[in-house]
Amino acid sequence: MTTFNELGLSPELLQSINNMGFEEATPIQRDTIPTALKGTDLIGQAQTGTGKTAAFGIPLIEKMDTRSRFVQGIVLAPTRELAVQVAEELNKIGQFKGIKTLPIYGGQSIVRQIKALKNGPHIVVGTPGRVQDHINRKTLKLENVHTVVLDEADEMLNMGFVEDIEKILENVPTERHTMLFSATMPKQIQNLAAKFMKDVLLIKVKASEMTVKNIEQEYVEVKERQKFDALCRFMDIHSPELAIVFGRTKRRVDELSEALSKRGYSAEGIHGDLPQAKRDKVLRAFKNNTIEVLVATDVAARGLDISGVSHVYNFDIPQDPESYVHRIGRTGRAGKTGYALTFITPREIDHLYTIEKITKRKMVKRSIPSVSEAMEGQQQITLEKLMEVVEEDNFSGYKQTAVELLEENDSVTLLAAALKLLTKEPDTTPVNLTDEPPLSVKKRRPNNRFSDRRRSSGGKREGGGGRDRRSGFSKGDRSGSREGGSRSGGRDQSYRSQKRVREDFKNRG
């Protein structure tokens, strides 16, 4: 166990952290904060729910000069929701240090944002498109930025932001501190790091530390065309308070949400192509319990802070174990027990084994419930609700009507009719879903460490020539130094170092 008092933080930050209720550092915070305070470029491989915002936010805020009215730090995030969420948490972390963080994103008045930028925020958290828009308008100047954070980098690349990100990084001073956080490590992330980062250190949360312990995890093996009926039967038995159903594609989400609505479930879907106003409306309804089922793609669900989710259904198995952990982490929060059910087609069973191996957690196999079992489940739920009303003893206004009904009908007939009226019977309305092809089986390459954790160098960069970000190599004299360590060997050593970095990336696949 590592406490924040052991990380050498300022009294102002410790006061903020204490006020926020943080007691001990999470694994990603424990490993990231000391390294980031030295100014070392790093990649943190972690998903939402591991405390990564504080992992990069604490060192980011610790380095802020509160006397300056220039933007000193910039955080890029894939969605408006995540940008707002990160900005709110950074403001809480920096409250006693006097740090001002401003979120900027599409869908909000740019005039209002320009006015807010003139007030001199220390940190800007924004979506790549809107940040690039402000740079083009010259309403956001980055020449004083010393720290850049790319949050949910894999999702930003999946959403097509790679060109915006590269242009933004080209507008930030070459001598800077860069932190990149990503749940997965695709080729594009490796290329981005090789191009824009220097002497990168990879910090990865171990699979055992990523797995949420208080989540009951099960799976069902089912043919593609039987998936939807199976989902409905499980939901009839579980009767979730709030549930998230994950689909692999935008088309799948649209079809699933429409099909669930036809079957009588209160469901809405969100994905990347949905207009911002519609996304906000759906999420607000889900958080307020106006709808009971949210159907989402991985991209749309990134960064959503929704409490009270009782069930997660993986209608389509995710591509990789990290995405699986990210999905199921939506339930079982705040000490509550959660439930996750994954649907596997026969040709995808190897992906299940891979997830179990990486997370070191066996899933329990379930059989598909029958229609009668689903009916029994709904009857049991109705009976429990009825008994709750009886225990509350708050129905005196209905007793006279009950007496009158009993004069003409026997009690068993009346109670059976009431149960039938209150019970949601399985709906067999026909629906058509487009078949999704099963995931192909890919051979996993060995996970080599990206960088030796026992390095001696660290601290703020100084001296040396400029750096050619496109090639990944430095120009001019390479005999510059870092505080707390030295480096020698000139250009040849630099070349070998960069070559090793790329080989390590290549080995990670």
Among the residues of 263-370, which ranges form H helices?
A: 276-287, 298-301, 321-328, 349-359
**What phi and psi values does residue 223 have, to the nearest 5 degrees?**
-70, 155
Contact 163, 127 (CB under 8 A): no
Q: Which residue has the higher pLDDT, 325 or 458?
A: 325
CATH topology of domain 209-444: Rossmann fold (3.40.50)
At 281-314, the pLDDT tens digits run 898 899 888 999 999 988 777 656 677 899 999 9
pLDDT tens digits, 20-78: 877 778 888 999 999 999 999 999 987 666 788 999 999 999 999 998 989 999 999 99
Q: Cα–Cα distance between 274 and 124 in angstroms, integer?
A: 25
pLDDT bin (cut points 50, 70, 90) of residue 445 is: very low
425/288 Cα distance (integer angstroms): 25
pLDDT category of residue 465 using cuts at 50, 70 and 90: very low
Asked if residues 346 and 223 have their Cβ atoms less than 8 Å apart, the reply is yes
User: Residue 335: which pLDDT band, with cuts at 50, 70 and 90?
Assistant: low
pLDDT at 414 over 90: no
Arithmetic mean of pLDDT over the chain: 81
- How far from the centroid of its chain's Cα atoms is residue 456's Cα? 33
Four-residue CA torsion sign, 177, 87, 85, 38: positive
In single-letter form, the type of residue at position 184 comes to T
How many angstroms separate the CA atoms of 292 and 267, rounded?
Answer: 6
Helices 399-408 and 411-422: crossing angle, nearest 10°? 120
Interatomic CA distance for residues 270 and 295, integer angstroms: 6
Distance (Å, whole) CA 187 – CA 446 = 15
CATH 3.30.365.10 fits 4-205, yes or no: no
Q: What is the rounded CA–CA span in Å between residue 37 and residue 60?
A: 8
Q: Give, for 19, the enclosing helix (H) or strand (E).
A: helix 11-19
- Taking the CB of residue 127, how many other CB atoms lie within 10 A of it? 24
Using the Cα atoms of residue 25, residue 31, residue 32 and residue 37 in order, give the sign of their dihedral: positive
Looking at this protein, which amino acid is placed at residue 181? F
Rounded Cα distance, 390 and 413, in Å: 19
Contact 485, 459 (CB under 8 A): yes
> What is the identity of the amino acid at 163?
E
Instruction: Work out the average pLDDT over 406-412.
Output: 85
Query: Which residue, among 213, 271, 214, 263, has the nearest Cα to 235 in the 3D structure?
Result: 263
State the pLDDT confidence band at 462, using cuts at 50, 70 and 90. very low
Q: Among all chains, which residue has been given the structure tokens 């999704």?
A: 436
**What pLDDT, in 10s, does the model give residues 230-289?**
999 999 889 898 999 999 888 999 999 999 999 989 999 998 788 878 888 898 899 888
Strands (E) located in 31-82? 42-45, 73-76
Q: Which residues contact 96 (CB under 8 A, 6 or more apart)?
A: 12, 13, 15, 16
Do 209-444 and 4-205 fall under one CATH topology?
Answer: yes
Each residue's pLDDT tens digit, 134-181: 999 999 999 999 999 999 998 898 888 999 999 999 999 999 999 999
Cβ-proximal residues to 482 (8 Å cutoff; 6+ apart), any chain: 457, 458, 459, 460, 461, 462
**DSSP category for residue 75:** E
Domain map (residue ranges) of the chain? 4-205, 209-444
Residue with tokens 């089986």: 441
Q: 344: which strand partners?
A: 221
Q: What are the distances in angstroms from CA 209 to CA 28, 265, 312, 447?
A: 9, 35, 20, 17
pLDDT in tens, 193-241: 999 999 999 998 765 455 567 889 999 999 999 999 999 999 988 989 8
Q: Which ranges of 182-270 would DSSP assign to H, the alpha helix?
A: 187-196, 207-210, 227-238, 250-262
Please tell me the predicted confidence (pLDDT) of residue 459.
Answer: 37
The tokens describing 387, both together, are 């008994």
Whether the pLDDT of residue 443 is over 60: the answer is: no
Query: Model confidence at 482, in pLDDT bands (50, 70, 90)?
Result: very low
Spatial neighbors of 355 by CB under 8 A, at least 6 apart, are 317, 321, 324, 363
Give the C-alpha separation, 371 to 369, whole Å.
7
